[in-house]
Homo-oligomer: A and B are copies of this chain.
Amino acid sequence: MEALTIHEAAQTTGWTPRMLRYIERIGLIEPARTESGYRHYGAGELQRLRTLRELLAEHEIGLGDVAFALRLRRDEALSGAVGSWLEAEPQRPEAVSADRWLRWEQEKHARIIDALTTNETMETAA
């Protein structure tokens, strides 16, 4: 037999049945179901449950963190938004002084107006 019940799966992976349901609830591992609704954990899921424990232990992260990483991977808009926010991070605070940034902003403003008034054939791709 290839698929284990939740108690058996718990036993062989070191989790509790309660936690297997929780892990499923947050979207990390969703086992197949029998017709009557029983969870069935296959070899792949058992492996992933074991590696999940290692992952958490070795990197001091929580289930919620992994769930968020999964969400990042699935939600393109989210990962884009977070990514581009983080992108603006490489802080060299000394390098760009505040008033220099202000000046650059004003220049940009001027350039935009210029571009708009002289050349209106632009493909605004969002």
Contact = CB atoms under 8 A, between A and B. Distances in A.
Interface of A: 1-3, 30-32, 34, 40, 42-44, 48, 51-52, 55, 58-59, 61, 65-66, 68-70, 72-73, 75, 77-78, 81-83, 85-86, 88-89, 91, 93-94, 96-102, 104-105, 107-108
B55 A97 contact: no
A2 B40 contact: no
Nearest to A96: B44
A120 to B, nearest CB: 15
B2 A100 contact: yes
A101 B43 contact: yes
Chain A contact residues: helix, strand, loop or mixed = helix
Q: How many chain copies? A: 2
Contacts of A1: 104, 107-108
A85 B104 contact: no
17 contacts: A3-B97, A3-B98, A3-B101, A32-B100, A40-B97, A40-B104, A42-B96, A42-B100, A42-B101, A44-B98, A48-B85, A55-B81, A61-B68, A65-B68, A66-B82, A66-B85, A68-B68
